[in-house]
Amino acid sequence: MKPLQYPGLINKNFTPFHPIELAQWTESIVADGNKRRYTHFYCTGVYGGISTGYTVGCCLRCVFCWVGLDRDFPFDSGNYYTPDEAFERLIRNAQKSRVRNLRISGGEPTLCREHLLPLLRLTSETGYTFILETNGILFGHDETYVKELKNIKNVHIRVSLKAGNGKGFEQRTGAQKEFFMLPFQAIENLKKHNLRYHVACMSDARLMSQDERKELLKHLSEITYDGYLEEERCDPYDTTIIRLEKAGYKLF
Ligand code: SF4
């Protein structure tokens, strides 16, 4: 059942939520037809330079998340952009800063499918690479979404795993443990449709035990993923510290 209040920062006594329902609920707040809300567009040095649209809204509540607090309170943040308008901003900044990569950050890019797919199609007509960073929830839930990416050649997908078992997933993302395997299913769907991707994981030893990390590796091996595994470390961003403290973690 949908909680009565939109889930914000998770605390020690949070009620786990249904991530697909939260995705739909969030879309109803941050999207309008094919428009999605962004707060700003900028270039940054990661990936050797990338033009970034900073958007609003996610279907998880990771305790280590660095993005702004509009992830948790997205109601009035940003302005609506059509796919054409977002594309124009991304390209303009990329040209100005002479970078070759594009992305959406600040929230989960796969929310608002009617926005993302046209935007990707526009970028596929350029020489830029679109790095699609995702938590894999929606790509695991709906294979048809992944299938629609098939003809968009310049996309590289980075699936970021948050946990190695259901308990860790629920504790650190706030989502019900039953949905823990969705990101692994996303990897299988990407493989099946021959897309370009790699896997990342938040395996920082201060958050994930060695046993849980082993479970994560076992799941990857069961789905025969043998590509590059990018292991992430939790950095002390202000928002990360707020989230960790609220959820009862002391890392820094
Ligand atoms: S880390 Fe990524 S998936 Fe997790 S809450 Fe933040 S934006 Fe969402």
Distance 152 CA to ligand 1 centre (A): 24
Q: What is the tens place of the pLDDT at every residue in 132-142?
A: 999 999 999 99
pLDDT of residue 6: 94
CATH assignment of the domain containing 50: 3.20.20.70
The residue with tokens 């309008």 is 32
Nearest CA to ligand 1 atom 7: 107
Q: Quick check: is 13 in a domain? A: no
Distance 195 CA to ligand 1 centre (A): 22
Distance 65 CA to ligand 1 centre (A): 5
Q: Quick check: is 147 in a domain? A: yes
Report the pLDDT averaged over residues 219-230: 97
Distance 57 CA to ligand 1 centre (A): 9
Least confident of 16-20, 110-114, 203-207, 248-252: 248-252
User: Is any atom of ligand 1 closer than 6 Å to the C-beta of 61?
Assistant: yes
Report the pLDDT averaged over residues 33-52: 97
Q: Quick check: is 242 in a domain? A: yes
pLDDT-derived band at 195, boundaries 50, 70, 90: very high
* pLDDT of 167 over the 90 cut: yes
Which residue among 10, 30, 67 has the greatest number of ligand 1 atoms within 8 angstroms of its CB, and so is best to mutate? 67
- Nearby residues of 112 by Cβ (< 8 Å), 6 or more positions away: 27, 30, 31, 34, 36, 57
User: Is any atom of ligand 1 closer than 6 Å to the C-beta of 20?
Assistant: no
User: Is any atom of ligand 1 closer than 6 Å to the C-beta of 52?
Assistant: no
pLDDT-derived band at 125, boundaries 50, 70, 90: confident
pLDDT of residue 62: 98
* pLDDT of 153 over the 90 cut: no
* pLDDT of 2 over the 60 cut: no
Q: Quick check: is 77 in a domain? A: yes
Nearest CA to ligand 1 atom 6: 65
- Percent pLDDT > 70 in the chain is 99
Distance 234 CA to ligand 1 centre (A): 12
User: Is any atom of ligand 1 closer than 6 Å to the C-beta of 116?
Assistant: no
pLDDT of residue 224: 96
* pLDDT of 191 over the 70 cut: yes
* Number of domains within the chain: 1
* pLDDT of 3 over the 70 cut: no
Question: Range of 39's domain?
Answer: 19-247
Q: Which atom of ligand 1 is nearest to the CA of 60?
A: 5
* pLDDT of 4 over the 90 cut: no
Distance 166 CA to ligand 1 centre (A): 17
Q: What is the tens place of the pLDDT at every residue in 54-87?
A: 999 999 999 999 999 999 999 999 999 999 999 9
Q: Quick check: is 232 in a domain? A: yes
Q: Quick check: is 161 in a domain? A: yes
Distance 177 CA to ligand 1 centre (A): 16
CA 113 to chain centroid, in Å, comes to 13
Q: Quick check: is 95 in a domain? A: yes
Q: Which amino acid is at 189?
A: N
* pLDDT of 111 over the 70 cut: yes
* pLDDT of 1 over the 60 cut: no
